[in-house]
Structure formats: structure tokens, C-alpha cells
Amino acid sequence: MAVRTMIDSIRETLADEMRRDETIIVLGEDVGKKGGVFLATDGLYDEFGGDRVIDTPLTESMIIGASIGAAINGLRPVPEIQFADFIMPAFNQIVSEAARMRYRSNGAFSCPITIRAPYGGGVHGALYHSQSVEAFFSHVPGLKVVIPSTPHDARGLLRSSIRDEDPVLFFEHKKMYRSVRGDVPDSDYVVPLGSAKVTREGSQVTLVGYGLMAQYSLEAADILDSDGIRAEVVDVRCLRPLDTATILESVRKTGKCVVVYEDNRFGGYGAEIAAILAEEAFDYLDGPVVRVTGPDVPGVPYNHVLEDWFMPDPERIATAARRLAGY
């Protein structure tokens, strides 16, 4: 057991998995000698060489297209998209090819690729280095979508993703890379895909989030505790497949729910959670399902004051939960 940052946990897991399985390759822009823009692949080129840690041109469609071809020919690629904002040129390859490979081949081919991409705001990255894109891909059958919120889960979920036989999008909140630390066991453990986790027990309101918003929800629960409001926090961890049972169990206990996501409010991923609660937990609700989200504007502003206005934070979450608790 050792204390790790998110980025350390991801880097060490990639190295461990590459030692375990020689079919695993890493490819992407600057992932080789440079070690990636966030140093997530630092040291991999020196240990595994250029045949397994491959620098590519700045062409996201090619990165994913080549990964799909490698996957159906026996390799297990882990492509990196340098920023989730730049994943759109590869959208057709991911959604029309990788996601449908098993279905279109009647099970003859699988597509075991794990697409890593940093996402999210709060780092002064402005429009093109701050986007949250998880809702687009969570919509698509055939894709798994994973977002860890702790170094422990990053390690266990990344292992499960790489070992999965179907395509996984593994989004990492860039603000958490070095700001979040936690205990990570040395053992070869996995966190199953499709499992949410109750990270704090409570009785009066449920806070549901993922990634940075799961961390902020825990901070909001601390704020609420000083007001005598006991909040339960559910970390979604895996957006597709979604562990609806854990969320429903929590909301049926508390009767109230605040869903938190950083993306634009309209059509964001948390709206699906709200719809599930309306359909399957209506008789248990003591108030409306409340969302705390980013605003419906085209991008995260560069101006620091406006960026803070865009980003949900613990106090904003606590304010919404406080109002809901008194409903």
C-alpha cells in the first residue's frame, strides 16, 4: 500500500499491464519519448521501446482507426487522445466502427481498445482544453464509459478496462491528476466495470457524481454535516454500463437526490440519472431531483472569474442540497 496521485496510478498501471501482456500497445500524440503532455506515459518508451509505445501524427481519426485494426488482429491497444476536446475527429471511428464491431460481425470480432483522454475544466484551459464529452459516448450501445475519482479506482478500473474484450472510453479529469492523492494497494486488484460506490453514508439526501464532481460532492457533504444534514454520496465510476441498483437503493433510503455533473446542463449525462429516478424511484421521492451542472454556454471561459462561474463547486452543491433537504 502506498500513497499515489491519479497520474502516478495511471502511469504505473499502464506499465504493469504492459509487462503482464505483450499484446498491449500504447499509441498517441507525444506518448513516446516525451511521455505524454501530462506525463501519463513517462518512462514507457524507455522500457518497452518504439514498437509498443508509438508516437503518431496529430490525427485522431487515424489513432483510433489504427487501434481498431490492431485490436481485431490480436493486439490490445491503449490509444491516448491528448485532450478529450480533440476526440471529435475520431467520433465516426469510435461510434460507427469500434462500438458496433461485435454486433456487425455477429460476435466473430471483438474490439478490445481502451481510449484514454483527459477531460474537464478548472485548469484555465478555456474552450478547447476544458470540455466534458462523456454524454456523447454514453449514449452509444457497445461502448463502455469509465471516469474514476480516486487513484485507487483509477488503477482498478484501468486494469478492468484494458482486460475487457470491448471498447472502453477511460476519461481522466485533468484537474485531479496531481491534486488528488490516495492509498493504492500493490496487489493486482481490479474494480469491476459497471459498479458504483457509496463513498459516504447518509440519510437525508443523496449526492450523485463522478470524477471531480464525486470529490466535490464529498466536500459538499462535509459542509452539510455542519448544518446537521446527513448527505450520502454515490460515486458513479462507470457511466456505461450504469449501476442503477446502487443509486436507486441510496435514493430510496434518503428520498432526495442531487445529481452533479460539470458538462452543459441540457442533455448532460446526469439528466439520464434523473430520468431513471423519475421512472423507478418516484414513489420514494420526497422532492424533485435536482441537478447542479455547468451552464448552457458554448465553452468554459478563459477568464478566471468566468471559469469559476462555469464550474460547479462544493458550496454550490451544498446550497442545492440544503434547499432540497428543506423541501
Catalytic one of 124, 129, 139, 173: 129
| Grid cell digits, residue 321 | 442540497
Q: How far apart are CA 108 and CA 111, in angstroms?
A: 10
Beta strands in 150-192 (DSSP E): 168-173, 181-184
1 band by pLDDT with thresholds 50, 70 and 90: confident
**pLDDT mean over 15-42:** 98
Q: What is the pTM of this model?
A: 0.97
Judge whether 129 counts as a catalytic residue.
yes
pLDDT tens digits, one per residue of 58-80? 999 999 999 999 999 999 999 99
Q: Which domains does the chain have, with CATH numbers?
A: 2-184 (3.40.50.970), 197-325 (3.40.50.920)
Closest to 133 measured CA to CA, from 189, 167, 87:
87
- Determine contact, residues 196/171, Cβ cutoff 8 Å: no
Closest to 88 measured CA to CA, from 53, 111, 117:
117
For 216, phi then psi, to 5°, come to -65, -35
pLDDT tens digits, one per residue of 233-262? 999 999 999 999 999 999 999 999 999 999
pLDDT tens digits, one per residue of 254-269? 999 999 999 999 999 9
pLDDT tens digits, one per residue of 156-209? 999 999 999 999 999 999 999 999 999 999 999 999 999 999 999 999 999 999
How confident is the model at residue 194, as a pLDDT?
97
